[in-house]
Each structure stands twice: as C-alpha cells, then as structure tokens.
C-alpha cells in the first residue's frame, strides 16, 4: 500500500502527493482539477528545473510524478532517468502536448508508466489510478519477497536447531532437492547433486539393503513413510536418521515425495545409555539372585566343611600317633614332638579358614553408598515375586514416600530383606492360602532414621526364642542352616543399625530393622 501510517484504510487515504515537472502553472491547476472532479484528492507540487525536481524527490513523500516532455531548461526523459535511478517505486506519467506517438512508445520502453496528451487530459484519471495500483502492487510484491526471504531464514534456522532437513524427490525425473540442513546432515555441500546413489553411498553398509528395499516399496506404494537408518560418515562416525515423507502433487510428472530427515543420533545415544544401564541393573539382579540365601549358605557351608575337614582329620590322626609314641616303657619323644608340631600346623590352618569365613561376612566385602532403600527393596520384591506368587501369598507394600536416603551396601541390605521375605513366606507354608499375608513397609523414624518392617501371618515363634533365632546354626527347619538371621543381623549391625523380631499378637511374626 502506498499510504503512510500503519492503519490508514482507503477512506482515510490522505491526498495524493504529485510532483509535476511543468513550466506552465495553468496546466498544473488543470490537472489538479481534473483529478479532483473524479474524486482523487491530490496536492500538486509543480517544479520547473532539474534542481527543484531532485530536491522535491529527496524530501520524500512523493506518490506520483507527472512530467512534461519538453521544458525550457530540462526535459522529461532525463527526469525519468533520474527518477528511475533514485526512486524506482514512484510511477512517472508523461503529460505532454508535443509527445509524438513514437517518442511516447520509446518513453514507455525505458520505464515510464504511461503518457497522456494534454489535449485529452481526462485520460489522466484512469492513468493515475492505474499507476497507483501498479505501484501498490510493486510494493506489495517487494513486501511479499521480504516476507518470503524472512520465512526462508527462519526455516533454515529452525531446521538447523531441530537437526531436521527437508527434501523433495521427483520420482519421474529422478531429481532430488535438499535443504541446506539436509546437505549438512549428509555431510556434503552444493554443488554436490543430491541423488539416490549419494543417499545409498552414505547409508551404513549394514543398512543399505534395507534402505534399498524400503525405497522400492515407497515408490510402489506411494504412501506415507517413516523409517530410521544409519549413515556412515567419511570420518567413520555413525549417524542415526529418521526419514519421514509423503507423496505430493508438486512434481513434474504430477507426483513426487516431500519429507524430512532428522538427525536422531543424540536420542539414539541416550537410548543406548539407558539400555546399558538396564543391562547392568539386570546383571546386578542376577548376581543378587545368585547370592540368594540357599546358594550362598549352601556353598559356603560345603566349602567350610571341606576346608576344615583336612586339618581336623590331620589333628586327630596326629594326636593318635602322639599317644601311640607315648605309650609303652620307652616313649619315642622325638616322634611325639613331631606329631605335636603337625597338630599345631593343622590348627593354624583351621584358624586361617575360620578367619577367612569371618572376613567373608564382615566389612571386607561391604562398601557404603548413598541409596534409596525403597528402590532397593522394590528390586528384591521383583526377585522374590515368583516365590511369593507360587505360595499364594498376598503381598502388601507400604513404602514411605518421604524416606530419606541411607548410606549402605546395596547388595548386602537387599540380601537381608530377601532373607526376611523368604523366611516369612516359608513360615506361612502351614497356614491356609487365604490367610497368607505379607507386609513390607518402610517408614521414617526419628531424625534421619529409616525403619523397615517385614510382617507375616505364619507360624510365628515362642517369645522366649526372640533372641535365639538370631544365633548362628539355630534352625527349626529340616535341612536348615540357621545362618540367615545371624548373617542378616551382622550386616545390619555393621551398618550401625538394629535387627530384631517379635511374634505378632495374632498369628505370625514381625521382623524389623533400623538404619
Ligand atoms: P533357616 O531359615 O535356615 O532356619 P534363619 O537364621 O533364617 O535360618 O532362621 C532361623 C530360624 O528362625 C528358623 O529356622 C525359624 O525357626 C525362625 N524364623 C525365621 N524367620 C521366621 C518367621 N518369619 N516366622 C517364624 N519363625 C522364623
């Protein structure tokens, strides 16, 4: 629009400002009148000389130039050239009495908007209207161009930021168009020509056959597509791409695909990291399952027995031999001394075994870390889930949301909880299925103290035995080792906590520990 001010509309259109290069003031008045009778409000500024002409244009605000063709000191054609160079958006109409047909055509050729003969001055009205319309269109066009340029800049920036490039693929001509970002993703630059060969060349060798098949299918189906594949870049790095597209009617053969490629390498790497973490978590869980009560203690007991068997047998044998050499009238003291030395040696060896076993249960294997006990317990519950379900035990979890973090050895604490849960499940073997109820609870105690409770509805125990069950080798189970609670207590005490048990008022028992 030609009008100044942001919201001027047609009704509010200010008067048209016309610069008129004309030596006769009457002619200028006539033009003004002619335009006014046709409803074009205008203000005509008349100039006669080149200097005034230029000054008026430089002041600005001129909507339209009218120019006589011949003037005493200046001429219309030169005026046109000056206007074209400095103010190309301002239309210029020749108004002349002398303009011959040929000159008029020449003037139009070099860029005049129109020409009007003074003898037919009424024609100036549509001519001015047309000139203004065209000028408006020109301005509109340059605005559109500006808007287009801007949107291209924004688009390019958005593509860069989102690692997403766009493409067009005219299937019938085989021509592929890439945006700048697509070039960047594929690691090349114009004038390199995008092509299917280039795409396949950059595609990771392991994905090439797949991508080729996908492309064939896309061409056949002419439907939307969405797939991922890898690129192998010249520097040996691998990129992950997501490619989406759909058929469009833009192509020369009436058919092409348009779409976008997104570099999803970062997302893939994050996923891979997460997967790795899951794998190590699963490994840790498997390890935990291995270290489960029965295996650990069974294996441990067997190896302790094995390790102690040799020195003990040796000691008994040597003691007997010693007695033998002492017997009779002439005891062979040298042999006796030998036997005693061997007994001492075996005794030391047995002592070593025992200190090794001790070390196994003590600090040697434990290390403290900051951990979320709820999370650790949930893992244990998952591991014991099968057992709990197999025995039809109803499990209730009551994990405190505000549980403070604790410092502890994750695996060892999990072993304690696992012990308590498996004991509880076992204790419910003899009660009716529907009465098998297990509660695992965590809660915040005084200060930062954390309390864990495992309560069952099993056989319970005599209150008099509340301490004895924690003694090593105390068991009421055929084939039981009686080590679980003893080890559990030593683990909790190592953590500076307490582990104790009470029979319930009703059926069952409650085991609790604090940290
Ligand atoms: P084991 O399970 O090999 O016997 P533990 O030290 O774990 O060794 O348990 C010792 C004893 O404590 C068990 O034999 C059992 O008599 C008693 N006990 C443990 N947990 C419970 C429970 N939840 N309810 C009743 N008694 C239990």
- Check if 217 has its Cβ closer than 6 Å to any atom of ligand 1: no
| pLDDT tens, residue by residue, 149-167 | 999 899 999 999 999 999 9
CATH code of domain 16-143: 3.40.50.2300
Assigned CATH topology for domain 366-515: Heat Shock Protein 90 (3.30.565)
Q: What confidence category does residue 71 fall into, taking pLDDT thresholds of 50, 70 and 90?
A: confident
For residue 398, report the distance from its CA to the centre of ligand 1, in Å.
23
Q: Is the pLDDT of residue 11 over 70?
A: no
Q: Which helix (H) or strand (E) holds 443?
A: strand 437-444
For residue 423, report the distance from its CA to the centre of ligand 1, in Å.
6
- Burial (CB < 10 A; 0-12, 13-18, 19+), residue 182, is buried
β-pairing, 164-170 vs 256-263, is antiparallel
The pLDDT value given to residue 5: 39
- Check if 312 has its Cβ closer than 6 Å to any atom of ligand 1: no
Mean pLDDT of 180-188: 93
| pLDDT tens, residue by residue, 305-356 | 877 888 899 999 999 998 988 888 888 889 999 999 999 999 988 887 787 6
Share of the chain above pLDDT 90, in %: 43
Mean pLDDT of 109-116: 85
- Check if 503 has its Cβ closer than 6 Å to any atom of ligand 1: no
- Check if 482 has its Cβ closer than 6 Å to any atom of ligand 1: yes
- Check if 418 has its Cβ closer than 6 Å to any atom of ligand 1: no
The pLDDT value given to residue 19: 94
Which ligand 1 atom is at minimum distance from the Cα of 486? 6
The pLDDT value given to residue 244: 93
The rounded distance, in Å, linking the Cα atoms of 359 and 433 is 41
The pLDDT value given to residue 445: 86
The set of residues, in sequence order, having a beta carbon less than 8 Å from that of 404 and lying 6+ positions away, is 444, 448, 450
Q: Is the pLDDT of residue 266 over 50?
A: yes
Q: Which of 172, 176, 195, 167 is nearest to 253 (CA)?
A: 172
The rounded distance, in Å, linking the Cα atoms of 31 and 27 is 6
- Domain chopping of the chain, boundaries: 16-143, 163-263, 366-515
Which has the higher per-residue pLDDT, 285 or 91? 91
| pLDDT tens, residue by residue, 277-298 | 777 776 666 555 545 444 456 6
Site to probe by mutation for ligand 1, drawn from 387, 469, 504 as the one with most ligand atoms within 8 Å of Cβ, is 469
The rounded distance, in Å, linking the Cα atoms of 489 and 416 is 8
Yes or no: say if 228 and 264 are a contact pair by the CB < 8 Å rule: yes
Site to probe by mutation for ligand 1, drawn from 292, 384, 423 as the one with most ligand atoms within 8 Å of Cβ, is 423
For residue 474, report the distance from its CA to the centre of ligand 1, in Å.
8
Q: Is the pLDDT of residue 116 over 90?
A: no
| pLDDT tens, residue by residue, 415-469 | 899 999 999 999 999 999 889 999 999 999 888 899 999 999 999 999 988 998 9
Yes or no: say if 403 and 374 are a contact pair by the CB < 8 Å rule: yes
The pLDDT value given to residue 140: 82
Mean pLDDT of 234-241: 93
For residue 22, how far is the Cα from the chain centroid?
A: 71
The rounded distance, in Å, linking the Cα atoms of 128 and 134 is 10
Helix axes 101-109, 76-86, angle to 10 degrees: 10
Assigned CATH topology for domain 163-263: Beta-Lactamase (3.30.450)
The rounded distance, in Å, linking the Cα atoms of 489 and 86 is 96
Q: What confidence category does residue 57 fall into, taking pLDDT thresholds of 50, 70 and 90?
A: very high
| pLDDT tens, residue by residue, 25-39 | 898 888 888 888 888
The rounded distance, in Å, linking the Cα atoms of 359 and 67 is 110
- Nearest Cα residue to atom 16 of ligand 1: 476
The pLDDT value given to residue 452: 97
The pLDDT value given to residue 296: 53
Which has the higher per-residue pLDDT, 505 or 13? 505
Q: Is the pLDDT of residue 258 over 80?
A: yes
Average pLDDT, the chain: 85
- Check if 471 has its Cβ closer than 6 Å to any atom of ligand 1: no
Q: Kindly state the DSSP code that residue 393 receives in the 8-state scheme.
A: P
Classify 78 as helix, strand or coil: helix
Which ligand 1 atom is at minimum distance from the Cα of 485? 6
Share of the chain above pLDDT 70, in %: 89
| pLDDT tens, residue by residue, 478-514 | 767 777 898 888 889 888 899 999 999 999 999 999 9
Q: Kindly state the DSSP code that residue 14 receives in the 8-state scheme.
A: P
Which has the higher per-residue pLDDT, 473 or 416? 416
CA angle 18, 21, 24 (to 5 degrees): 110
The pLDDT value given to residue 77: 86
Which segment, 9-18, 92-101, 159-168, is predicted with the most confidence on average?
Answer: 159-168
The pLDDT value given to residue 289: 54
The answer to whether the predicted template modeling score (pTM) of the entire model surpasses 0.75 is no
For residue 192, report the distance from its CA to the centre of ligand 1, in Å.
77
Mean pLDDT of 57-79: 89
Say which range, 9-18, 94-103, 214-223, 421-430, has the weakest mean pLDDT: 9-18
Say which range, 51-60, 115-124, 224-233, 401-410, has the weakest mean pLDDT: 115-124
Which segment, 125-129, 250-254, 389-393, is predicted with the most confidence on average?
Answer: 389-393
Beta partners for residue 498, in sequence order: 514
Yes or no: say if 18 and 45 are a contact pair by the CB < 8 Å rule: yes
């Amino acid at each position: 629009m030609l009008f100044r001010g942001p919201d001027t509309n047609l009704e509010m259109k200010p008067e048209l400002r016309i610069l008129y290069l004309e030596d006769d003031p009457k002619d200028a008045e006539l033009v003004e009148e002619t335009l006014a009778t046709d409803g074009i409000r205008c203000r005509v500024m008349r100039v006669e000389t080149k200097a005034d002409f230029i000054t008026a244009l430089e002041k600005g605000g001129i909507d339209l130039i009218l120019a006589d063709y011949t003037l005493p000191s200046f001429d219309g054609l030169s005026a046109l050239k000056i206007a074209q160079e400095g103010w190309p958006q301002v239309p210029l109409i020749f108004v002349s009495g002398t303009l011959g047909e040929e000159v008029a055509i020449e003037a139009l050729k070099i860029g005049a908007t129109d020409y009007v003969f003074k003898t037919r001055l009424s024609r100036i009205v549509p001519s001015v209207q047309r000139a203004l319309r065209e000028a408006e269109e020109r301005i509109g066009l340059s605005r559109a161009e500006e808007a287009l340029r801007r949107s291209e800049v924004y688009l390019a920036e958005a593509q860069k930021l989102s690692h997403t490039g766009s493409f067009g693929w005219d299937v019938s001509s085989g021509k592929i168009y890439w945006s700048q970002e697509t070039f960047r993703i594929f690691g090349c630059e114009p004038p390199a020509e995008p092509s299917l060969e280039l795409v396949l060349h950059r595609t990771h060798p392991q994905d090439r056959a797949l991508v080729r098949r996908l492309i064939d299918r896309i061409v056949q189906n002419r439907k939307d597509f969405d797939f991922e594949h890898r690129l192998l870049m010249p520097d040996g790095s691998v990129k992950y791409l997501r490619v989406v597209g759909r058929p469009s009617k833009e192509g020369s053969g009436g058919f092409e695909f348009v779409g976008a490629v997104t570099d999803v390498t970062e997302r893939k790497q994050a996923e891979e990291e997460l997967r790795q973490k899951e794998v190590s978590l699963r490994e840790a869980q498997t390890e935990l399952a291995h270290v489960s009560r029965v295996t650990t203690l069974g294996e441990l007991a067997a190896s302790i027995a094995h390790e102690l068997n040799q020195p003990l047998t040796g000691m008994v044998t040597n003691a007997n031999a010693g007695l033998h050499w002492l017997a009779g009238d002439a005891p062979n003291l040298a042999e006796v001394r030998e036997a005693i030395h061997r007994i001492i040696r075996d005794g030391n060896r047995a002592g070593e075994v025992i200190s090794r076993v001790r070390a196994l249960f003590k600090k040697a294997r434990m290390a403290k870390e900051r951990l979320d006990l709820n999370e650790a317990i949930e893992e244990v519950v998952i591991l014991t889930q099968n057992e709990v379900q197999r025995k039809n035990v109803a499990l209730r979890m009551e994990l405190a949301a505000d549980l403070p973090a604790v410092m502890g050895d994750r695996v060892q604490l999990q072993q304690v909880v696992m012990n308590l849960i498996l004991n509880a499940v076992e204790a419910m073997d003899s009660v009716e299925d529907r009465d098998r109820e297990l509660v695992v609870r965590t809660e915040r105690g005084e200060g930062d103290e954390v309390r864990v409770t495992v309560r069952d509805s099993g056989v319970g125990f005599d209150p008099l035995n509340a301490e004895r069950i924690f003694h090593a080798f105390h068991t009421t189970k055929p084939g039981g080792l009686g080590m679980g609670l003893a080890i559990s207590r030593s683990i909790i005490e190592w953590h500076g906590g307490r582990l104790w048990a009470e029979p319930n008022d009703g059926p069952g028992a409650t085991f609790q520990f604090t940290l």
